[in-house]
Amino acid sequence: MPGTPEGGFVRRIGLFQATAINMSQMCGIGPFVTIPLMVAAFGGPQAVIGFLAGAVLALADGLVWAELGASLPGAGGSYVYLRQAFQYRSGRLMPFLFVWTAMLFIPLIMSTGVVGLVQYLGYLWHGMTQTQGDLVGLGVIALVVGLLWRGVEHIARITAVMWCVMIASVVLVIVAAFTHFDADQAFTYPAHAFDLNTSQFWTGFAAGLTIGIYDYLGYNTAAYMGAEIKHPGRTLPRAIVASILGIMGIYLLLQIGTLGVVDWHHMLAPGSTASQSVASAVLEQTWGKGAADVVTVLILITAFASVFAGLLGGSRVPYDAARERVFFRPYGTLHPRHRFPVLGLATMGVVTAAGFLIGRHTDLATLIQLLTTVMVIVQALAQVLAVTVLRRRRPTLRRPYRMWLYPLPSLVALVGWLVIYGYADKNSPGRHPIEWSLAWVAAGCVAFLLWARAEKVWPFGPKEISEEYAAGADPDAESPMAAEETRK
């Protein structure tokens, strides 16, 4: 039974820890390296629109995650939701495609965090060579995997500490910015900045929305650990909404404060401190070089915490799939003592390292486009549909949380993800992210057919319908043994 200490995960993570895991993943190095990218997308300080648009999409999509996570709180997050929703027509195709895709996009997103960490380290380590930066990044990834190679109760405490460091770093940057804030600089916009009748505005908006949602990604991290969350029917929705609202406030203050100190034109200059380490530039211009060095160290810890939280949640994705014979079976094995998925963590660590090395020689904005287009098809759009499918297919499923104003948030999320996907090629000329995403999904379909033939399941065998979390079952309930383990 999921949640028992003998055969699966133990529910040990409460609301504060779940929110800290989400926020640590959301506010890693992302906003510190993407503020210049956002300014470049919009062509001026009106770039704040991107963070607002990203918050709206994150909140709408977060409510999708909240309903699914509260009613289906299993290990693997999207894998569980897609398996339960689409098994009636396409068997195990959708969950297989999700795991196939997640084993790529989750660690690659983490690799962008390590790229940003090394980028900020360059502010402290003058003259760092390309090879030295590569070795540092690989060492950081090895350290993250080593720290995750232990019991979840220790991880929860480590995450809470790093969450506090993350909050300290962003608060210091915000306070420093507003002690030397120039309102004219922050709110003086170029001509036609808000001209909605030009294609340039909407292309910039789509690019900004993509960067914005990238910065908010992580509001769902705790949902991947649904089998380890105490009282998930209450905890997951609250953690998702609280983390999005909290990070939205932080990002807006950070963006506006930065624009009030650093001239946005300097952020567009290749190789400048403002374009590479904008938060360090803020501290250097306000409190001096010493303060900038200290806060840069805190930002490095924040970036580390983000990668830590992302691999923590992501490594759980293939576990439930393998246990249900929808992925390679060795991924369904937990560490005999610490109860974490060994092969899932090891594989994602390796892919993160490979993505880091690729990202060191790739434009960050383009890499973000490539990652999000793959994620949109198999996860984002599919989950929006899954909410409606489950409401119709399983109306009696226990839902501790039901989406507010349904189906409006689903529709907002649907439109937002389609905008990101539709403008991907225009925002990444010559890179063809849409074509690459479709090719990856097509390869996944071929892999599924080969796997399905070997396993003799649909379409080469009968559909196996498994309606877990049956009507009336309380997903918050723990077995007596799990409850005793939690008290220990």
The whole-number pLDDT of residue 480 equals: 36
Q: Are 261 and 181 in contact (CB under 8 A)?
A: yes
Beta bridge partners of 13: 229
Q: Round to the nearest angstrom and report the end-to-end CA distance of the chain.
A: 19
Instruction: Tell me the angle at which helices 381-393 and 78-90 cross, rounded to the nearest 10 degrees.
Output: 60
pLDDT in tens, the chain (488 residues): 334 433 467 788 899 889 988 887 787 778 888 899 899 999 999 999 999 999 999 999 999 999 999 999 887 788 889 989 999 989 989 988 998 888 888 888 888 889 889 989 999 998 899 899 999 999 999 999 988 886 555 566 766 777 788 788 889 999 999 999 999 999 999 988 888 888 888 888 999 999 999 899 889 988 888 888 999 999 999 999 999 999 999 999 999 999 999 999 888 887 777 777 899 999 999 999 999 999 899 889 888 887 887 788 778 778 777 777 887 778 888 877 767 788 888 999 998 998 888 878 776 777 777 778 888 988 999 999 999 999 999 999 999 999 999 999 999 999 999 999 988 877 666 677 888 888 889 998 998 998 888 888 899 988 888 777 655 455 555 443 333 333 33
The whole-number pLDDT of residue 7 equals: 43
Going from the C-alpha of 480 to that of each of 4, 72, 227, 468, the distances in angstroms are 9, 20, 16, 20
